[in-house]
Amino acid sequence: MKNLKYIIYREGDYYVSQCLNIEVASFGTSIDEALSNLKEAVELYLEDDKSLTHFHEVGEFMLGEFALHA
């Protein structure tokens, strides 16, 4: 069993969910729906990659924000 880490953020009318261990993302109209859809997307992804070749461990992480003057 692997524990997966994810983030969820709001983008317009939707919540976007992204898995940090593999390149899979989803969305929903609520946080619960976004997480449920992410779990389903990860399960579908892993049907093709049962060996977890694209899985990478994520230790401690920080979410932050900074200003970019472009």
Determine the Cα–Cα distance for residues 6 and 25; give it in Å rounded to an integer: 9
Written as one letter, the residue type at 21 is N
pLDDT of residue 54: 81
Tell me the pLDDT tens digit for each residue of 21-62: 999 999 999 999 999 999 999 999 988 877 777 888 999 989
What does the pLDDT look like over 4-20, one tens digit per residue? 999 999 999 999 999 99
- Check residue 47 and give its pLDDT: 87
- Alpha-carbon span 49 to 12, nearest angstrom: 32
At 1, the pLDDT band (50, 70, 90 cuts) reads confident
